[in-house]
Structure 1
Amino acid sequence: MAKATKVRLLDSGTLVIDQSHITWNVGCGTPVRFPVYSVLIEHPEGLILFDTGFDRELVLEKLAFELPEQTEQQTIPAQLALAGYAAGDVDAVVNSHLHFDHCGGNKHLVNATTYLHEDEIREARSPEPFEVLGYADRSWDHPGARFSLLSGDVELADGVHLFHTPGHSIGHYSLLVELEGSRPLLFMADVSYTPAAYARDHQAGFHWNPVAGVRSIRRVKALARAWDAEIFFTHDMDEFETYKLAPSSYPAS
């Protein structure tokens, strides 16, 4: 069986939240600008996209306080073009969860099947009152969307592993990619936002279940040790500035 050949990070722009939303209840009153990106996996079994960033117009309409910054070059179609692909080339979209900053580009990927945890799609379609803003972007649920619903841990393609890591949301998935000629890459999505928070088992202030969230942080740590994986943080600007962005790739071209 063949593993993934390349992984590319697609820049989706930035948002602002309070520090207390990054490290639950710690640092209230300190605004922080943080990055958003997607993970493109080039695999012999197809082209897979993990998360799809945010839609600037949607955020301006419903969450303008997050001060979205996104150029035309940072939209999903433009970022895919940087990597040498069109939106129609994507075979599979995996949403770690359906918060607005992880699914805003789904609507562009008309030929893809969308893979989700079965609990996540139910929650996003009927959110609890405290989750409504998190699930503000409903464009992923368009009439032509095709869904494949998952449960538990899944190997989506050879060496492309999804681990159920609930807490931030009910159906949250983290991603581990085995690469030819490189260490595995572990993308924990929103299990924990920054290296400092992760080291202290701090989860984000927005969560479905904080007890499950702490257990998922510890599970990610165990996975990283077991696989000797390189960890990527989704919403930390300092880390993001060290990452290779499309058209560059892991491993290097």
Structure 2
Amino acid sequence: MKKWIVKAIQAGSIVLDRSAMTHYKGKGEQITVPIWCAGATDGEHKVLVDTGIRDLEEYRKAEPGVIQTPEQDTVAAVRRIMGWEPEEVDIVINTHLHCDHCGSNAKFRKSKFYIQKKEWEAAFAPLVPEVPFYDSLCYDKNAVNYFQWEFLNGDAEILPGLRVITTPGHTRGHQSVLFHTEAGVVCVSGDICNVAENVNGNLEPNIVVMVPETYESFQRIRQSSHYILPGHEPAVKDGAETFIQVL
């Protein structure tokens, strides 16, 4: 089986209270967290996990502390870290459809997109607490042609050494992405784990729509993965290939 190389790609950052990542732990402590995408290749395929922000001012309505430098624009960041142009990306996997994880989907016109069908449906009918984080302009028919989508109904092998697993909790149809690498299995978790403390400390993030399922998702990640790139982990460096150990 081919081994994958996975790199962290920073598409912005958010200044917020630490407790927003850790179920009220650390309240009053201001931190800056990255917005992570990931690029991965097995030497043949070019895969992008999540696509960052669509519109900085629009996203600021949901997250007032968001910051994005020109080099963190998703296309510029993918080019800087991976050396890829948008039309070279074969596959985009959205962990979920919150607007900081699928915002630049429209820029990848030649990619095949993988999403859980449950997540795609939920994004067009969000629950009240979810409304600020779903922006249909990121994933509607004008952003992604319907025939670009590959809808999944559960765990799936995408390519040898590349698998998605369902990790609901943060959203109803959330998924995480597993890569078989030289170091072991790397989980690009999306926001079921905002930070590594969520999975390693069994500590739910604050935006949760399904509580029992969140803890079941943590367990799935612990059972399957050696390392994790959480959606907003500040200890990971831009361009890193080394991630946080799953305990």
**So what's the TM-score if we normalise by structure 1?**
0.85
**Is the CA contact (8 Å cut-off) linking 1:192 and 1:202 kept in structure 2?**
no
1:43-71 Cα deviation digits (max 9, x unpaired): 355211111112323213x3352x21111
Structure 1 segments unaligned to the other structure (5+ residues): none
Matched, 1:151 2:153: yes
Aligned residue pairs, count = 238
Q: Which amino acid aligns with 2:233?
A: D
Cα shift at 1:14: 0.3
CA RMSD of aligned residues (A): 2.1
Q: Which amino acid aligns with 2:131?
A: V
**Is the CA contact (8 Å cut-off) linking 1:54 and 1:104 kept in structure 2?**
yes
**Counterparts of 1:1-253 in structure 2 under 5 Å?**
1-4=1-4, 6-44=5-43, 46-55=45-54, 56-60=56-60, 62-63=61-62, 65=64, 67-82=65-80, 83-136=82-135, 138-143=137-142, 144-145=144-145, 146-179=148-181, 181-224=182-225, 229-237=226-234, 239-240=235-236, 243=237, 245-246=238-239, 249=241
Q: Which is worse superposed, 162-171 or 199-208? A: 199-208
1:161-181 Cα deviation digits (max 9, x unpaired): 1110111111111111012x4
**Is the CA contact (8 Å cut-off) linking 1:58 and 1:137 kept in structure 2?**
no
Cα shift at 1:142: 3.7
1:167-226 Cα deviation digits (max 9, x unpaired): 1111111111012x43221222212222333333111111120111011112211213xx
Structure 2 segments unaligned to the other structure (5+ residues): none
Q: Which amino acid aligns with 2:209?
A: W
**Is the CA contact (8 Å cut-off) linking 1:93 and 1:114 kept in structure 2?**
yes
> Which whole-Å CA distance do the structure 1 matches of 2:76 and 2:31 have between them?
26
Q: Secondary structure at the match of 2:113?
A: strand
Cα shift at 1:136: 3.1
Q: Which is worse superposed, 209-218 or 23-32? A: 23-32
**So what's the TM-score if we normalise by structure 2?**
0.87
> Which whole-Å CA distance do the structure 1 matches of 2:176 and 2:6 have between them?
15
Q: Secondary structure at the match of 2:119?
A: helix
Residues 7, 64 of structure 1: alpha-carbon distance in 2 compared, 3 angstrom cutoff:
closer
**Is the CA contact (8 Å cut-off) linking 1:99 and 1:137 kept in structure 2?**
no
